[in-house]
Amino acid sequence: MRTFFLFFVLVLLASCEKEAPVLDDSFTVSGTIKGLDTEFMIRSYRDTAGNRVSDSIFVENDQFSYTAQIDEPTFIFFWPYVERTVKRTESGGYYPVKSSQFAFLASPGDKIVFEGEVTDFINAYPSGTKANDDLAAINSEVFPLMNQSVNYLLDLQFLEENDPRRTIIEDSIKTLDEQVVELKKDFITSHPKSEAAAWYLSDMMLRSQVSDEEAISAFKAFDEGLKGYRYYEEVATRVAGIEATVVGKTVQNFTTESTLDGKTFEFNDLKGKYILIDFWGTWCGPCIAEMPKVKEYQEKYRDKLTVLGVNQGDTKEKVNEFITPKGYTWTHLMNGKEQDDFVLKFNVAGFPTKFIIDPEGKILHRFVGDSEESFAVLDDLLQ
């Protein structure tokens, strides 16, 4: 009887030591990383209500483990509070380079493990799923190059404008950055079944690191098995946006309730006047700098011009707090997901982006970045 009882206790203890399974609505990521001499890391993201939320990932003896709920595949990164990895500038800012982050792809039910070390960058990579194995393969190639590039960029701060060493360093930065882009392009085209490749193409399109032709070609080569994966679908929407928003195309009618007051907006209701669509965010300095001019032109050509703002990255509360005192009270849409992801639908890859559309809905011009030219064009059209 005593033997049976001892056996039962041992089995019970063994079962208690087994790791708890990852729930279907969660993911777990962990690691033991040499040189991770910090007490915590930070994950910053937006919740379902659009509010910015920060989680702390506690670190002890170079080890961490973090579990969180998730409802769709998501690219996630942690900022480690290891000072030597922060690429600080002399002015007090820093370069948010990916090689200074723990970067991974999480899907519901995933268990992800990091291996590697922290030097002056995060030379550590994820495994545990095919997506993260693929991501590790490309990141382990490009992160060291990205780190060297930003280190050179920091070196430039200490050189006078006429110092001949500047040209050598600038050429080195350009070479490294070009190598990184080419490695990522090669990875995407050589991994047509990879979820990581779909994410990388989405990210490169957002950063204008691939031409429209290259993006369309890579997307069409993706395996059909990726259909339904979040980042494949984002690329699909952006590719459709490339084709739908070239100059000369007519904007297809759409309706949405992603408005500041929750009322239904219909694009065709704007027809009859010229339309200026302005993609903006309060976090975008050039966007904010141009908005007084947008207001000026809305008032200057009140009978001929309608302005439509599309906000990315802010909450409704923050938008209202910003626009109301300044009188920027033209119609604003809030960029959302799926059918309400206007950034993808209009293939916006930089902020601000402006479209000028004629009274019949045809796209006449597209401007990316701060552009006096867009206002000169409005003068030519409306005076």
pLDDT classification of 159: cutoffs 50, 70, 90: very high
pLDDT confidence of residue 120? 97
Give me the pLDDT at residue 91, please. Answer: 83
* Positions of CATH 3.40.30.10 in the chain: 255-382
Which region among 44-58, 215-229, 258-272, 326-340 has the lowest average model confidence (pLDDT)?
44-58
Percent of the chain whose predicted confidence (pLDDT) is above 90: 82
Task: Please return the burial class of 73, using the count of CB atoms within 10 Å of its CB with bins 0-12, 13-18 and 19+.
Answer: buried
* Range in 93-97, 105-109, 249-253, 369-373 with the lowest mean pLDDT: 369-373
Strands 305-311 and 331-334: parallel
Which pLDDT score is estimated for 9? 41
Residue 19: the pLDDT is 52
The dihedral built from the CA positions of residue 73, 258, 292 and 205, taken in this order, carries a sign that is: positive
Q: Is 266 exposed, middle or buried (0-12, 13-18, 19+ CB in 10 A)?
A: exposed
The pLDDT of residue 10: 45
Model confidence pLDDT, tens digit, residues 209-246: 999 999 999 999 999 999 999 999 999 999 999 988 98
Architecture (CATH level 2) of domain 14-127: Sandwich (2.60)
Question: In this predicted structure, what is the pLDDT of residue 5?
Answer: 46
pLDDT at 49: 67
What is the model's pLDDT at position 21? Answer: 61
* Least confidently predicted of 15-19, 68-72, 234-238, 357-361: 15-19
Average model confidence (pLDDT) for the chain? 92
CATH of domain 255-382: 3.40.30.10
Q: Which of 19-23, 31-35, 111-115, 121-125 has the lowest mean pLDDT?
A: 19-23
Model-wide pTM > 0.85: no
Q: Mark 44-68 as b/e (b = at least 16 C-beta within 10 Å).
A: eeeeeeeeeeeeebebeeeebebeb
pLDDT of residue 383 exceeding 60, the answer is yes
Segment among 63-67, 133-137, 177-181, 316-320 with least mean pLDDT: 316-320
Biggest distance spanned by C-alpha atoms of the chain: 100
As a whole-number percent, the residues of the chain with pLDDT over 70 amount to: 93
Burial class of residue 206 (count of CB atoms within 10 Å of its CB; 0-12, 13-18, 19+):
middle
Q: How confident is the model over 181-204, as pLDDT tens digits?
A: 999 999 999 999 999 999 999 999
State residue 45's pLDDT score. Answer: 87
- The pLDDT confidence band at residue 59, using thresholds 50, 70 and 90, is very high
At 252 the pLDDT is 92
Question: Burial level of 112, CB count in 10 A (0-12/13-18/19+)?
Answer: buried
| Beta-carbon contacts of residue 44 (< 8 Å; ≥ 6 apart) | 52, 53, 54, 55, 79
For 4-56, write each residue's pLDDT tens digit. Answer: 444 444 444 444 444 556 678 899 999 999 999 999 999 998 776 667 889 99
Indicate whether 299 pLDDT > 60. yes
Parts of the chain belonging to CATH 2.60.40: 14-127
